[in-house]
């Protein structure tokens, strides 16, 4: 009797980087070109903040947020347009909410740090991210967000730190944010970098992490840089078999 065929684990591409580095858009385009899925971990934190507000949970109480995690269910499309779903109990029964647009609301964005600051919450969500990738059934998944290369997926065969100079990141962000000048966005990025520097180094790659500086790269060149890194690792793996 033949042994059952075991599906190969998805190739995991972990991408970290500060705001304005091109991380999110480049990750999504790279995943599409490679035929991989894309998992935006920040969306899960946004969805949790939305759920906490919706249920009246205290976002600053770690035990309350962990209790919410016990009862909710999170879903995210990995291929095609991003759709985010949350399953919550409304007091009588479970109901599924499409929160794709709601989690991008400014009122939700401003609360994300209140749920992400809890170590237990981050540990639980990191476990969830790994399970989503493992159960994806895809040849590979690009996973992007904060602490991806060092905490969420430190053993990923491809780990990339995508960065750019503060001036370039401010220019890109200013083009996305109406009503704000380049100087205002640059000041905001500088403040955010200073805050991030207390817990993570977005400018120096950890051992085994490849640095991709997009300061002098356009969008297409940035995507190709990621694709080239992934294909080089795939090629080396094939040669090693």
18 is in an annotated binding site: yes
21 is in an annotated binding site: yes
165 is in an annotated binding site: no
20 is in an annotated binding site: yes
195 is in an annotated binding site: no
Using CA atoms, how far apart are residues 6 and 194, in angstroms rounded to an integer? 46
Q: What is the dihedral of CA 239, 131, 34, 207, to 10 degrees?
A: -60
Structure tokens at 44: 């899960």
CA distances (Å), origin 228, targets 79, 157, 163, 169, 173: 21, 14, 17, 23, 26
140 is in an annotated binding site: no
CB atoms within 10 A of CB 239: 7
**Residues near 47 by Cβ (< 8 Å), separated by ≥ 6?**
74, 84, 86, 99, 103
76 is in an annotated binding site: no
Q: Which residues are annotated as a binding site?
A: 17-25
Residue numbers in the known binding site for ATP are 17-25
């Amino acid at each position: 009797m033949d042994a059952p065929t075991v599906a190969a684990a998805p190739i995991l591409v972990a991408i970290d980087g500060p705001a304005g580095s091109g991380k999110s858009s480049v990750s999504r385009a790279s995943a599409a070109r490679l035929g991989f899925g894309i998992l935006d971990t920040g969306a899960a934190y946004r969805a949790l903040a939305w759920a906490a507000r919706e249920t009246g949970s205290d976002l600053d109480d770690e035990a309350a947020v962990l209790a919410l995690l016990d009862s909710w269910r999170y879903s995210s499309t990995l291929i095609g347009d991003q759709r985010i779903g949350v399953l919550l109990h409304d007091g009588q029964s479970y109901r599924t909410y499409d929160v794709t647009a709601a989690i991008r609301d400014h009122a939700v964005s401003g609360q994300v740090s209140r749920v992400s600051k809890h170590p237990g919450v981050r540990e639980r969500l990191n476990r969830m991210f790994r399970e989503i990738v493992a159960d994806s059934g895809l040849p590979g998944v690009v996973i992007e967000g904060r602490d991806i290369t060092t905490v969420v997926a430190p053993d990923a065969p491809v780990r990339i730190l995508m960065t750019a100079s503060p001036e370039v990141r401010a220019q890109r962000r200013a083009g996305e944010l109406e009503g704000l000048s380049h100087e205002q966005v640059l000041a905001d990025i500088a403040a955010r970098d200073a805050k991030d520097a207390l817990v993570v180094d977005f400018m120096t790659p950890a051992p085994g992490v490849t640095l991709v500086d997009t300061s002098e790269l356009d969008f297409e060149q940035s995507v190709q840089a990621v694709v080239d890194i992934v294909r080089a690792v795939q090629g080396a793996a094939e040669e090693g078999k």
